[in-house]
């Protein structure tokens, strides 16, 4: 069975030294509750829960899967008991508003815990995962009555939430949905339709399930402008606010999937189910985006967690597995062969995983600070800037961290060789589980269009400038630091090129809108590498400063510098290929007719 140790030392480096979380929390209202001692205790207890409770259920949950009988779903053995411990420990309410029963701690703290959950049992983590997004949607858009009925239950974790968007004939293009909402005499609505790919749509782990459903009213405008949002509980709450009559929503079937077998991915049938309008009529998509944006960050964290899990187990195997001798001569002459960690190519794979894990952690925690400020910041200008940065970084977190997460889990299998392909080692499960992260909550292609089309070009590049100005100021401040030149000089050049590349795409798009779609994925990946380059440069500076000042943990800081160096020398050059592909434009992509794609194999 794979093992896992929460990377608490690296978390402390990023939170306390690199991003100065103690000062960040001190500026937030109520942030004094997140004292260093409290944060340390939460991280340590979260690490214990993840390793001792969730990790042992990961492989068994994958092998057992979920069982559907008579419209009721049973989660794998141990999942329900683990969830009860999770609720009893107060984890669902960690960052929720005290007005709704929450503990009022910063959202970023819950995101740190989320990495540990994703690293140890992604399928289990998806049961409570969407509850936070459902609670956010109701907190921002629900009526007082809806908040009183559903929000406290979601916050305490006794009820869980879902997000019901996708239908058999439409995924991203939600304007095509067919689910209908017909008004009734009592002010409610009858919801009828079918939703697919609904994570945790039905299970036996909570008392009730609160579905947030997109549907169209009878007089709704065509397309996405005619979508409304409804709350549709599995059990209708009674006068006491407890689960009462069963609603007209059932699980029709479970999907048979490549991975995340322990999570119930459901086809949900709504047959005149009683629902209640959330927000204004025909404004449901805007309400749902509150939930979707949180979910996209959450999926990026899934990519990070799986990267860390794969790296840790590949590293342990590489230290133990004996194969051949080092090319420069025996490294372990007392043994019949050297451990494979001495071989350069194995080191390349391990360092790739390590760099993506550490870089991804910096990106998530940097983004998490933006979420804290948007939610709780007192200064209007600071909140506005944080919201701009969050909008820019969200598609990068979601898509880049899941793309490189899939790469990292593949490298983990490769380090194990043939053993990685065998189920008992658990490495192939990480690959299967990682594959979905590039798809749900918006594919990489959709995130790329969001980044380049909506966030960058539609703002005339202003959102990008907010971030690149930060990078520019860092490079200016460190221009005379010769010890940091290997990072600062290429970063400054890359930062300037990022703006030029963006302008070039924008100019081409004025004549041909297809240029945006042609460039988008390469642009997103370029942006991801550039963002990690900035964060690694800052980490290198912090490590360098600490080593000069003197420390008892010099090995940690030397490793941090070497990992940053590896990223710059071996991974950052990938931006060259992305730049060249972007500049090639749309012509070769669009030249082939749809008929010509099949030339050579038609019957």
Interatomic CA distance for residues 208 and 229, integer angstroms = 19
Q: Residue 275 pairs with which residues in a beta bridge?
A: 189
Give me the pLDDT at residue 122, please: 98
pLDDT digits (tens, 9 = 90+) for 5-17: 999 999 999 999 9
The model's pLDDT over 466-506, given as tens digits with 9 standing for 90+, comes to: 999 999 999 999 999 999 999 999 999 999 999 999 999 99
pLDDT at 471: 98
Mean pLDDT split into 10-residue runs, the chain, 603 residues: 95 98 94 94 98 98 97 97 98 95 95 97 95 92 96 97 93 84 97 97 98 96 92 97 97 98 98 98 88 91 98 98 96 96 98 98 98 94 96 98 98 98 98 98 97 97 97 97 97 98 97 97 98 98 98 98 98 98 97 91 73
Burial grade of 38 (CB within 10 A; 0-12, 13-18, 19 or more): middle
**Catalytic site residue 441?**
yes
CA distances from 143 to 137, 147, 276 (A): 11, 6, 10
Dihedral sign of CA atoms 271, 275, 280, 286 in order:
negative
Would you state the pLDDT for residue 172? 78
Name the active-site residue from 407, 441, 478, 515. Answer: 441
Q: For residue 47, what are the CA distances in angstroms to 7, 53, 86?
A: 9, 10, 13
In the chain, DSSP finds a helix count (H) and a strand count (E) of 21, 11
pLDDT of residue 223: 86
Q: Residue 285: its pLDDT value, please? A: 86
Tokens 């600071």 correspond to 382
Q: Return the pLDDT at 603.
A: 58
**Tell me, what's the pLDDT at 289?**
82
pLDDT of residue 175: 74
Distance CA 296, CA 402 (A): 10
């Amino acid at each position: 069975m794979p093992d896992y140790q929460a990377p608490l030392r690296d978390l402390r480096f990023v939170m306390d030294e690199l991003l100065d979380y103690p000062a960040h929390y001190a500026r937030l209202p109520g942030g004094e509750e997140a004292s260093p001692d409290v944060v340390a205790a939460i991280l340590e207890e979260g690490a214990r829960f993840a390793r001792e409770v969730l990790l042992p259920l990961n492989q068994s949950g994958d092998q057992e899967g979920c069982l559907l009988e008579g419209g009721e779903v049973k989660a794998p053995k141990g999942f329900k008991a683990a969830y009860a411990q999770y609720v009893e420990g107060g984890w669902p309410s960690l960052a929720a508003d005290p007005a709704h029963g929450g503990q009022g701690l910063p959202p970023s703290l819950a995101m740190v815990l989320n990495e540990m959950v994703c690293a140890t049992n992604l399928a289990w983590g998806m049961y409570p995962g969407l509850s936070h997004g459902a609670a956010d949607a109701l907190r921002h858009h629900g009526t007082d009555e809806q908040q009183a009925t559903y929000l406290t239950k979601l916050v305490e974790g006794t009820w869980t939430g879902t997000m019901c968007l996708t239908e058999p004939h439409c995924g991203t293009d939600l304007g095509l949905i067919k689910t209908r909402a017909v008004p009734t005499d009592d002010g409610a609505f009858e919801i009828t339709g079918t939703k697919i790919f609904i994570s945790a749509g039905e299970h036996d782990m909570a008392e009730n399930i609160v579905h947030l459903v997109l549907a169209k009213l009878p007089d709704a405008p065509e397309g996405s402008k005619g979508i409304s949002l409804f709350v549709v509980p599995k059990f209708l709450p009674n006068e006491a606010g407890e689960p009462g009559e069963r609603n007209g929503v059932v699980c029709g079937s479970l999907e048979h999937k490549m991975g995340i077998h322990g999570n119930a991915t459901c086809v949900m049938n709504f047959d005149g189910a009683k629902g209640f309008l959330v927000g204004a009529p025909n404004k449901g998509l805007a309400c749902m985006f509150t939930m979707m944006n949180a979910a996209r960050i959450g999926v990026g964290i899934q990519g990070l967690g799986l990267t860390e899990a794969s790296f840790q187990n590949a590293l342990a195997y590489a230290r133990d597995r004996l194969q051949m001798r080092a090319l420069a001569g025996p490294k372990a002459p007392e043994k019949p062969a050297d451990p494979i960690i001495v071989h350069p190519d194995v080191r390349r794979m391990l360092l790739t995983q390590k760099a993506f894990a550490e870089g991804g952690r910096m990106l998530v925690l940097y983004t998490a600070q933006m979420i804290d400020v948007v939610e709780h910041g007192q200064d209007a200008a600071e909140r506005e800037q944080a919201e701009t940065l969050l909008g820019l970084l969200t598609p990068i977190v979601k898509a880049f961290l899941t793309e490189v997460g899939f790469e990292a889990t593949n490298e983990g299998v490769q380090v194990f060789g043939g053993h990685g392909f065998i189920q008992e080692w658990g490495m192939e499960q990480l690959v299967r589980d990682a594959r979905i992260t590039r798809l749900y909550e918006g594919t990489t292609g959709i995130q790329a269009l969001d980044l380049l089309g909506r966030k960058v070009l539609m703002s005339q590049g202003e959102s990008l400038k907010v971030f690149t100005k930060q990078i520019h100021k860092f490079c200016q401040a460190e221009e005379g630091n010769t010890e940091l030149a290997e990072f600062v000089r290429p970063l400054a050049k890359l930062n300037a090129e990022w703006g030029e590349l963006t302008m070039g795409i924008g100019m081409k798009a004025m004549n041909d809108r297809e240029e945006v779609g042609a460039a988008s994925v390469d642009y997103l990946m370029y942006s991801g590498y550039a963002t990690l380059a900035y964060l690694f440069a800052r980490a290198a500076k912090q490590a360098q400063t600490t080593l000069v000042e003197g420390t008892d943990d010099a090995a940690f800081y030397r490793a941090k510098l070497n990992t940053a160096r590896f990223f710059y020398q071996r991974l950052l050059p990938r931006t060259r290929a992305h730049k060249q592909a972007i500049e090639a434009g749309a012509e070769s992509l669009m030249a082939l007719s749809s008929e010509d794609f099949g030339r050579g194999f038609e019957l």
